[in-house]
Chains A and B, each alone.
Chain A
Amino acid sequence: MERKINLPITREMAREIKSGESCLLSGVIYTARDAAHKRLVELLEKGEKLPFDIENATIYYVGPTPAKPDQVIGSAGPTTSYRMDAYSPALIAAGETGMIGKGKRGSAVVEAMKKHGAVYFAAIGGAGALLSSCIKSAEVVCYEDLGAEAVRRLVVENLPVVAVIDSEGNNLYENGRRAYLESEKN
């Protein structure tokens, strides 16, 4: 029952993906954590060009372990998303349509998602070895000095994620829990 999504996600596609849907993502995504987000948003504030095309981009909040010589990338599961909340609205306004992380988001992020059309996905936190097997190539785009936190361009195949917050603001963290508790009453 998983929805297969070929990246990039356009604004229109983003509006079709609904909270609670399990999705398999294939195509190009970019990685960035707090330190990289800070630099990207500073560039936007100065009106400068970003080191990669943010239009319809999906950003994965991940700092992988180093790749062994025979690996594309090391373990690569999501980091907690709220640390990106200060930066996401600016990136969404600039063209970002997908975010992959784990955990809650602030209201400013959700408002930006509703306004512009964007989806927030969660990957399974702590499943770094499993998620790594879906990453087919990885190259550093910029900020190599940040080590694990550098921006990487990843090509992924059937990366399993769940749409948590959709472009209408529906939230699986609230609805999933409520539905389970309702089912327990019966």
Chain B
Amino acid sequence: MREIDARLITETVATLAVEANCFLPADIKSRIEKARSEEKWETAQGILDKIIENYGIAARDNMPICQDTGVCCVFLKIGQDVHIVGDLTEAVNAGVKKGYGEGYLRKSVVGDPLKRVNTGDNSPAMLYTEIVPGDKLEITVAPKGFGSENMSQLKMLKPSDGIEGVKAFVLKTVDEAGPNPCPPIVVGIGIGGTFDKAAYLAKKALMRSAEERNSDEFYAELENELLERINALGIGPQGFGGRTTALAVNIETMPTHIAGLPVAVNINCHVTRHKSAVL
């Protein structure tokens, strides 16, 4: 049994929140730069140039890449041999408050979905925990903007809809989103499980590197095909037309019921942020 002080979790979450917001991950940068070199439509080239310039300025000046510094999604992989000394949830929320306060990040969370009063410190985090073997604690902080979150969709397909039904639903979701989620986008897809698990898988898919395909060849091919077809829609960067509508399609799956085929599409923007640390 290894002990981890909750205060260390607070510090780590705070640091990760600031870094995730100011420094775009290498995988996203390399996808954007690759897309720029392949983009032939002039307007689209101009937009991608400005997007590249923007994350350069953000990194240089230690400034948030985007003003929507998001709701703070925190993924914890907790080794089953870890004992956390202190209150875990409180420690994570304290980290969010500290990072968003000291890091001059925007406070974008309301305490109640209908009464809508800003909590003033961006807490609470959207906390996802998973128990894994070992004695380590992996923390991933992923600020999530809502311009793209709002364009996400979930559908309970019929088993007979099959793979073609999944493809059609993904393409429809991206098409309807159009310019709203700040394309180029990253598309996270969850297939299977239950209503809620499909949504969780879609979000989890967004945590995977945009350069890494699904380990199952069947799904890796589906990711490639969907990326190709999304980029044939013509929406383009910011919706002004062009090839670069999506940077990557990541799919996660799990077993499901004989009667169902849940599919969730979680859309993320070109400011797809996540940063991890292992304690």
Contacts and interface: CB of A to CB of B under 8 A. Distances in A.
Contacts of A160: 50
Contacts of B233: 177
Interface residues of A, number: 43
Nearest to B65: A129
Chain B interface category by residue count: 35 or more
A173 B271 contact: no
Contacts of B41: 180, 183
Interface stretch (A6-14, A51-59, A66-74): A66-74
A178 B180 CA distance: 17
A84 to B, nearest CB: 13
Contact of A126 (B46, B241, B242, B271): B271
B106 to A, nearest CB: 4
A111 to B, nearest CB: 20
Contacts of A141: none
Q: Name A's interface SS.
A: mixed
Nearest to B51: A127
A170 interface: no
Contacts, number: 148
Nearest to A77: B67
A167 interface: no
Interface string B19-56: 00000000000000000000001011011001101110
A177 B107 CA distance: 35
B95 interface: no
Contacts of B150: 80
B104 A68 contact: yes
Given A75-B64, A122-B179, A126-B271, A103 B239 contact: yes
The 4 A-B residue pairs with the shortest CB-CB distance in the complex, in nearest-first order? A176-B241, A125-B182, A180-B241, A103-B180
10 contacts: A65-B69, A82-B180, A102-B147, A102-B179, A128-B67, A129-B54, A173-B240, A180-B41, A180-B243, A184-B234
Given A64-B67, A102-B182, A177-B234, 8 more contacts: A63-B108, A79-B147, A102-B180, A103-B180, A124-B54, A125-B66, A126-B269, A128-B58
Interface of A: 22, 62-68, 74-77, 79-80, 82, 102-104, 122, 124-130, 132-133, 147-148, 160, 162, 172-173, 175-181, 183-184
